[in-house]
A and B are shown apart, each in its own frame.
Chain A
Amino acid sequence: MSDLDTFREETRAWLEANCPPEMRAPIVSEKDVVWGGRDQSRLTAPQKTWLDRMAARGWTVPDWPKKYGGGGLSAAETKLLREEMARIKARSPLNSFGISMLGPALLKYGTEAQKLEHLPKIARGEIRWCQGYSEPNAGSDLASLATSAEDAGDHFIVNGQKVWTSYADQADWIFCLVRTDKTTKQGGISFVLFDMASPGVSTKPILLISGYSPFCETFFDDVKVPKANLVGDLNKGWDVAKYLLGHEREMISGMGLSGGGDALVEGALATVGVDAEGRLADPLLRAQIALYEVRALAFAAQSERFIDELKAGQAHPAQPSMMKYYGTELNKARHELSMAAGGSDAVEWESERSGGGRAARAWLRTKANSIEGGTSEIQLNIVAKRILELPG
């Protein structure tokens, strides 16, 4: 038996013994997602158990080095762990911008002290992070950002405003882009970390068309940030930001996969039923769903390929843009179809039958997929210029 076979067997047995039954059901609502953070009072007992057990093995971040709280697994072992988790439909024990975005950037650009300070806490879900990138006048044109960090000896004084800061009102720390040199555009940006509990930080949720407010406006008023919290070199934050954006796009592209077509098909079968041959009774809806499923299944293969290529260092550095573009467009298409399949039930906004408008709110939420993390148009610009090498 090869080492990998042994690893699979042991992993399977461990997951079987340690994954609580409640954590083997599909994610239905926002409450089911574990974000971690200082305040863990909102976690249910099974969520807490699952998080703690996985974190103890380093399996919330299986491919990070052990000294930073990771599992130290190889690419092949990580893939196998993912497969074994999928086999028992185990939920992710921890969702975190720390894992998917800041962690990889710290691993590449952080000092040893920064890695030892922050990575293990991310791995254990002890600190919830948010991302301070966009500003009112710096969305797609991110390098126009104006939030300033003035040199004050051993610390910076940060002033300005961020917008679309996901879950800023619930985050413990922020990784933030600030301007440290006003004379150049991309060359005057730095990447800093600070505690959201610092004096001068305030947040205000933004109500969205879905009726939720996952995003905030975030204000900084003379916030003191120690210089030890600068990641990468002064004025070189753009490199860190770009690297991190690649990981963000990678994460968002995964949304094209969430749920697959099962719920869609079930929804359609429930509303329109089947014809004499057992086919979905609305032939045009059936055709649309079938063609959607072809793309979704093909994209699932592409996601697997992309991850395999990333781990092997073979992916084009701009490929996350393609993945983000395709995954989010696909996710929007799925929810559009899901609304069509649900019919009038799906547009109910508050009823118990509709789960408080779950379908409609989720559908509206997806409309931001092709805007946040860089719009679809920005991703296409990147693919055109960096992969296809089209001019100017």
Chain B
Amino acid sequence: MPLFLNDEQTMLRDTARDFVGENAPVANLRRLRDSDDATGFDRALWKQFAEMGFTGILIGEDAGGLGLGHVEAGVVLEEIGRNLSPSPFLSTAVAAVAALDGTAQAERWFPGILSGETVAALAIDEGPKHRDGVTMRAERAGNGFRLSGAKQFVTHGHVADLLIVAARTAGSDADAEGVTLFAVPADAAGLTATPERLADSSIAARLTFEGVAVDGDAVIGEVDAGRAPLDRLLRAGRTGASAELLGVGGGAMDLTVGYLKQRKQFGALIGSFQALQHRAAHLYAELEVARAAVLKAQQLLDAEDAAADQAVSVAKAMTGLATTLSVQEGVQMHGGIGMTDEYDIGFFMKRARVLAEMFGDANFHADRVARGRGY
């Protein structure tokens, strides 16, 4: 399979580019922020995503979805990134769907995701830095479980219908196994969500679980064997976040290069200065390399190749590095105007910072690559 988009994928990208660009440009984010919107995204737009078929990209055709893959989901995510569009697409249509796929829970939640009724949130992180480990406990109670503990950085956690929660049902905190993944309805008793506005104006919740009772049916996959669906979720989420980061980095670069072509100083367009040309060209190179890393990870995931795991970490680390550079150079090359709230480039910097942390930053994933390579 060649490492570029095929004709169908290119058509999907053009469709997504037009759709997201028209319906959820950066101005949309600004409007949501200025109106102090408490949801964090536009529900009507989420319905439109569903009508376009986007929410079913990773859902099989037999379940009413499009039966496409991570390359296609990434195509949509890149446009979401480029336009800084607040959307539950990554958590719901990508990560949650990957976790639920092939389990008994799919039947219950896929119809709502397909129709744009359901929003899912991922209760995975327990501290301010993403980690693979799970310490939150789920005790057996009757034919179900009681969940106790706390999670944070749960994007859309305050408005989600479905929370995907990783908790420990066996073993000690450091163990990879002994984890169970639960599909917890948002209205479960004992569950408190505290929304926190983030630097990029998005909202993520801190969740506390005080003996939240769920029945046995809430288990995604098998008890004590939640690592498999959790890994599916993480691989999909990390790859998806990489694609979105790529979009943020590309959007920031386009803005910056455009500015270099119209801003004059010393009687010349600043884009004619070699010092800036070299930095812009270096940035272009970093983003191209990041783009290849993302596509490689997506293709390997879709092929269910064993090499996908490393490729996913390479993609997340590489997009983290490249997009951080892109937004930093973006603000710097814009000069004073780049520091103003009125101008959009700062929005890209803030979004990049949040996405860089999501599902593990570049250091986390470089460490993962190193461990995978045996050092």
A392 and B321 CA atoms in complex are apart in Å by 30
Residues B232-291 near A (CB distance < 8 A): 257, 260-261, 268-269, 271-272, 274, 276-278, 280-282, 284-285, 288-291
Q: Check if A380 sits within 8 Å of B3, measured CB to CB.
A: no
Q: Which residues on A sit within 8 Å (CB–CB) of B280?
A: 384, 388, 390
Interface window among A64-72, A180-188, A294-302: A294-302
- Mark B74-104 against chain A: 1 for CB-CB distance below 8 A, else 0: 0000000000000000000000000000000
Q: Is there an interface contact between B366 and A294, defined as CB atoms closer than 8 Å?
A: yes
CB <8 Å contact, A391 and B285: no
Bound CA span A299–B366, Å:
15
Counting CB contacts under 8 A, is B374 at the interface? yes
Does A13 belong to the interface (CB within 8 Å)?
no
Contacts of A268 in B (CB 8 A): 375
Query: Contact size class for A?
Result: 35 or more
Whole-angstrom distance between the Cβ of A288 and the nearest chain B Cβ: 10
> Which of B4, B291, B311, B365 has the most A CB atoms < 10 Å from its CB?
B4
Q: Tell me whether chain B's interface is mostly helix, strand or loop, or mixed.
A: helix
Contact B284–A297 (Cβ < 8 Å) = no
Contact with B along A284-321 (1 / 0, CB 8 A): 00110111011101110110111011011010000000
Known: A268-B375, A301-B295, A309-B4. A392 touches B269 (CB 8 A): yes
Query: Is A269 at the interface (CB under 8 A from chain B)?
Result: yes
The answer to whether B369 and A301 touch across the interface, beta carbons within 8 angstroms, is no
Q: Are A265 and B375 in contact (CB under 8 A)?
A: yes
Residues in A with CB closer than 8 Å to B288 are 302, 322
Query: Which residue from chain B places its CB closest to the CB of A377 in the assembled complex?
Result: B278
Is B154 an interface residue, CB under 8 A from the partner? no
Whether A380 and B278, one on each chain, are in contact in the complex, defined by CB atoms closer than 8 angstroms, is: yes
Q: Is the CB of B317 within 8 A of A280?
A: no
Contacts of B369 in A (CB 8 A): 290, 293-294, 297
| Interface assignment of B293: CB less than 8 Å from any CB of chain A | yes
Q: Fill in one digit per residue for B335-375: 1 if any A CB lies within 8 Å of its CB, else 0.
A: 00000000000000000000000000011011101110111
Verify B366–A293 contact, CB threshold 8 A.
yes
A390 touches B257 (CB 8 A): yes
From known contacts A298-B290, A305-B292, A390-B257, infer whether A384 and B310 are also in contact, taking CB-CB under 8 Å: no
A residues near B271, Cβ cutoff 8 Å: 390-391
Nearest CB in chain A: distance from B266 CB, A: 13
- Docked Cα-Cα span, A390 to B284, in Å, equals 12
- The minimal Cβ–Cβ distance linking A374 to chain B, given in whole angstroms, is 13
Task: Give how many B residues have a beta carbon under 8 Å from the other chain's beta carbons.
Answer: 46
B249 → chain A, closest Cβ, in Å? 13
Q: Is B227 positioned at the interface, with any CB of A under 8 Å from its CB?
A: no
Q: Which residues of B contact A291 (CB under 8 A)?
A: 317, 321, 362, 366
Write the chain A residue with the least CB distance to B257.
A388
User: In the complex the two chains form, what is the Cα distance from A291 to B321 in whole Å?
Assistant: 10
Residue of B nearest to A299 (CB): B289
Closest to A308 in B: B2
- The answer to the question of A173 belonging to the interface, with a C-beta cut-off of 8 Å to chain B, is no
Q: With CB as the reference atom, state the residue of chain B lying closest to A302.
A: B292
Residues of B within 8 A of A139 (CB): none
In the complex, which residue of chain B has the Cβ closest to the Cβ of A285? B375
Given contacts A301-B3, A302-B288, A377-B278, whether A289 and B261 have CB atoms under 8 Å apart is: no
B158 at the interface (CB under 8 A from A): no
Q: Is the CB of B4 within 8 A of A312?
A: yes
Say whether A305 contacts B4, CB under 8 Å: yes
Let me know if A314 and B4 touch, CB within 8 A.
yes
Tell me the complex Cα distance, A200–B57, Å.
69
Contact of B374 with A298 in the complex, beta carbons under 8 Å:
no
- Do A297 and B310 have beta carbons less than 8 Å apart? yes
Chain B hits for A308, CB < 8 A: 2-4
Q: Are B370 and A289 in contact (CB under 8 A)?
A: yes
Complex contacts, A388 vs chain B, CB 8 Å: 257, 277, 280-281, 284
Q: A325 interface residue, CB < 8 Å from B?
A: yes
Whether B284 contacts A265 by the Cβ 8 Å rule is no
Report if B119 contacts A (CB, 8 A): no
Contacts of A305 in B (CB 8 A): 3-4, 291-292, 295-296
| A45 on interface, CB distance cutoff 8 Å | no
Q: Could you list 15 examples of A-B contacts with CB < 8 Å? A: A265-B374, A269-B375, A279-B370, A287-B363, A289-B370, A295-B318, A297-B369, A298-B318, A301-B289, A304-B3, A304-B296, A305-B3, A322-B285, A380-B281, A390-B271
Known: A297-B311, A391-B269. 13 other contacts (CB 8 A): A265-B375, A279-B371, A293-B373, A294-B313, A294-B318, A294-B365, A298-B292, A299-B292, A301-B289, A325-B285, A381-B277, A385-B277, A391-B271
Q: Which 5 A-B pairs have the closest CB atoms?
A: A384-B277, A302-B292, A298-B293, A383-B281, A301-B296
